[in-house]
Amino acid sequence: MIVTLKEILSKAEEGNYAVGAFNCPTLESARAVVEAAEELQVPVILSHAEVHFDITSLEIMGPILVEFAKKASVPVAVHLDHGSSLENVKKAIDIGFSSVMIDASHMSYEDNIRTVEEVVQYAHEYNVSVEAELGMMTSSGIGGEETQGEEHISEGDSVDYYTDPNVAKDFVEQTEIDALAASFGTVHGMYIKEPNLDLDRLNSIYAKINRPVVMHGGSGLSEEDYIAVINSGVRKINYYSYAANAGARAVKDYIDNNKDLFYHDFTVVAKAAIKKDVKRAMEIFLNKNQCVEN
């Protein structure tokens, strides 16, 4: 069943767990995520990132994700990840997405607010939830999805790029967004060293904004880190790089161990590996709570 991001995260808030948001640029990744969620009977967010439009366009992948959501036996939000413009937000909503992210975090604070306000005004008219970002997400530079139009910084740079809790409060109050993507130490892509999470900052953000916190760069953390951020207010965890890498490694192993090769076998192998990886993540995100109410 298709639901809004606001609905899914409201339930997560009540149950103190997080919902996985998995980027699905291919049919195999979408099938893997939906099958894993249905087997566990947990809610899930199917995302299509704007940066992945060159893999599969919004016009092709969007309707597939919406159809999967409608037929799923669990609550599913269909989400535009890192949208860069109102134009693409409108396209996603027209297709049937129940949630959109507008990422204007690379703009000045004032322009970020103006851009987000415009998207919120439009999306809420259609009962579509809105996520926005404040602070700069860092990048390891290895794999994963990069946000379009943003100058990423590398790991270890100044914490000045992290989200300021007091500014976050003002941002949420002015824009009336449904969820805030905050920067507190995670990175897009594969981790090249242990993540350094600022949990004090995260706790302060959560206490001030009265909204679900979204963690981008959610792949690759330890189970202890996941539980810590969930208990500090994270309700949506974006997860992609490590699942995509699991699929690629499975295909490589298959190629290394088989003589007669056919492309369709690669898709089967990749889907199974992605499903296994995201299913493990979903189990951790539950935070030992049963969380589906039909």
User: Catalytic site residues?
Assistant: 81
Residue 138 backbone phi and psi in degrees, to 5: -85, 170
Contacts of 241 (CB under 8 A, 6+ apart): 143, 144, 145, 188, 189, 190, 219, 220
What are the beta bridge partners of residue 129?
99
* Beta pairing, strands 19-23 & 44-49: parallel
- Residue type for 39, please? E
User: Do residues 165 and 117 make contact, with C-beta atoms less than 8 angstroms apart?
Assistant: no
Rounded CA-CA distance 284/20 in Å is 10
Half-sphere exposure of 278 (CA within 13 A, CB side): 39
Rounded CA-CA distance 143/135 in Å is 21
Contacts of 100 (CB under 8 A, 6+ apart): 79, 80, 83, 89, 92, 93, 119, 123, 128, 129, 130, 131
| Token pair for 47 | 């995302």
Angle, in degrees to the nearest 10, between helices 165-175 and 199-209:
30
